[in-house]
Amino acid sequence: MRRHPICNHLSLAAIICVLALALSGTASAGASSEAMENGYYYTVQKGDTLWDLSRRFADSPWVWPQLWTENADAIANPHLIYPGQKIRLTRKKGAPATAATWQDEPLTQNVHFHYSLVDRVGFIRKEPVPPTAVIFDARERSRELLAEGDIVYLKPEGAAALAPGQLFTVYRTLDPINDKTTHAYIGIQHLLLGVVKVLQSEADHAVGEIVRSYRRYMKISDKLMPFVPRSTEISYKPSPAGIEGTIFEVEEPVSVFGQFHTVFIDRGRVHGIREGQVYSVYRRDEKMAGPKGAEKKISVPVDLGDLVVMHVEENNSTVMVTDSKVEFYTGVRIRSPLQAR
């Protein structure tokens, strides 16, 4: 799969750090949220140097010139980095996809994954979220699909009150999902579509404006729930050993997925999954091993990519594929990073 320039993953043996400062030449300010590319970042601490960070995150201090060279536009002087600056961590091109190998707590306590579109990350829940309101009409009735800037009419559900200025997430519940092997019920996918702001409240309805559109297929009959802003910075957490699971669903209606796709795994809170943990996507290859004439077939796990946990439910989690060496299909396996096993 063609690698996107903001591919970001980390390995003690196979990654290099890349500085990505949005405000070059400033001593005290880090990159702004709007300017930061999606990926892993390290927040510079007092006493940090490129030499030291190269040693910690790439296992070799001698690659520090590469850090500077690849970010020459952002770093005027490679000997001057400042506390609070955000250093983007990028895996060296062509290196194995072992981003999930940081398990040393002191090493990772200042690392986070930045995702500017975190508010659009959906979830699968056993019981659907009850709507606060429903979009029942739009000013432009001739338009089948709604978009940012459209005026919509909202019908409150039950005793819900819609006050001017309130923000609501527009969502849609999809068909129930069952495990493809056991047929056990997993839950209902909640697809987040955008944000509506209430402009005016009437006795039996409210008028709102779509102020943010995540996807191009918002429509009349979509539901509303209270908007809860989420941090774009997800703190990195070491992953527990022994986790095995499966990617069973993709958030978008696609059959093939890869880097920066949002997908769902069949492991959740009850299994020890937490936001910020990183896991490996892998397959098993059959190999022949042993003395000549007595070779035996063995199954060897091969890591194919990495993912980071974005949201956790009881029995499943929403994750983002942060690195992929091949295209994936639902059913592909995930596991704890090698160092955590």
Give me the amino acid identity at 289.
A
pLDDT value at residue 107: 55
Bridge partners (DSSP) listed for residue 246: 333
pLDDT value at residue 96: 32
**Cα 225 to Cα 170: distance, rounded to the nearest angstrom:** 7
pLDDT value at residue 26: 33
H/E element, 53: helix 50-58
pLDDT value at residue 37: 75
185 is written with which tokens? Answer: 């019920």
pLDDT value at residue 72: 62
Task: State in words which class domain 234-340 has.
Answer: mainly beta
Cα 51-54-55 angle, rounded to 5 deg = 90
pLDDT value at residue 71: 58
pLDDT value at residue 93: 40
Where along the chain do its domains lie?
A: 15-116, 123-226, 234-340
**Under-70 pLDDT residues of the chain:** 1-36, 58-59, 67-75, 90-108, 339-341
**Cα 159 to Cα 273: distance, rounded to the nearest angstrom:** 36
173 is written with which tokens? Answer: 């519940």
pTM over 0.75: yes
Tell how strand 223-226 and strand 233-235 pair up.
unpaired
Q: Tens of pLDDT along 41-64?
A: 778 788 877 777 777 776 677 777
pLDDT value at residue 224: 98
Q: Which of 293, 292, 246 is nearest to 268 (CA)?
A: 246
pLDDT value at residue 11: 39
314 is written with which tokens? Answer: 């009881």
Q: Tens of pLDDT along 184-239?
A: 999 999 999 999 999 999 989 999 999 999 988 899 999 999 999 999 999 988 88
